[in-house]
């Protein structure tokens, strides 16, 4: 199956650019990060939002029927990106944080669950429990 048939190339490129941007920003030197983002848990909110947006863009990029298997694949793929993002931060004198990774997971899960609920709730066929999106 060709990638063009499986994915909307525009949304896939947007998802990849967003992912690269997030990884780039999380690897900037700690002193370049504005202090308000480092205090009061705002950095955790930034992680939730960033990985939520990444997940949303990847969902939009899927052109074929989006089933629970697709959602699981996206979950684990983006989860791995988030883990790699955290694990590699010490290479640039940043601190890897389990709390940051859990914030990433939270963003991924919220968007995937929201997408599943919206798509399954909006379908009326007997197979709707398994289908999330059909293009």
Please determine, for residue 128, whether its predicted confidence score (pLDDT) is greater than 70: no
CB pairs under 8 A, 24+ apart, for 115-120?
A: 115/56, 115/59, 115/66, 115/71, 116/68, 116/71, 119/66
Total-model pTM = 0.80
Q: Average pLDDT for residues 92-120, to the nearest whole number?
A: 88
Backbone angles phi, psi at 96, to 5 degrees: -75, 140
Residue 131 has pLDDT above 50, yes or no: no
pLDDT at 134 over 90: no
Give domain limits for the chain: 3-133
pLDDT digits (tens, 9 = 90+) for 108-122: 999 999 877 766 555
């Amino acid at each position: 199956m060709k990638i063009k048939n499986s994915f909307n190339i525009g949304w896939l490129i947007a998802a990849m650019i967003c992912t690269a941007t997030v990884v780039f920003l999380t690897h900037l030197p700690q002193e370049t990060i504005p202090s308000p983002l480092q205090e009061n848990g705002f950095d955790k909110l930034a992680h939730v939002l960033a990985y939520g947006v990444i997940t949303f863009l990847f969902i939009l990029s899927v052109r074929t029927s989006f089933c629970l298997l697709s959602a699981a694949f996206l979950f684990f793929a983006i989860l791995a990106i988030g883990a790699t993002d955290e694990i590699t931060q010490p290479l640039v004198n940043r601190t890897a944080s389990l709390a940051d990774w859990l914030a990433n997971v939270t963003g991924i899960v919220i968007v995937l669950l929201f997408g599943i609920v919206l798509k399954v709730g909006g379908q009326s066929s007997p197979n709707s429990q398994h289908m999330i999106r059909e293009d």
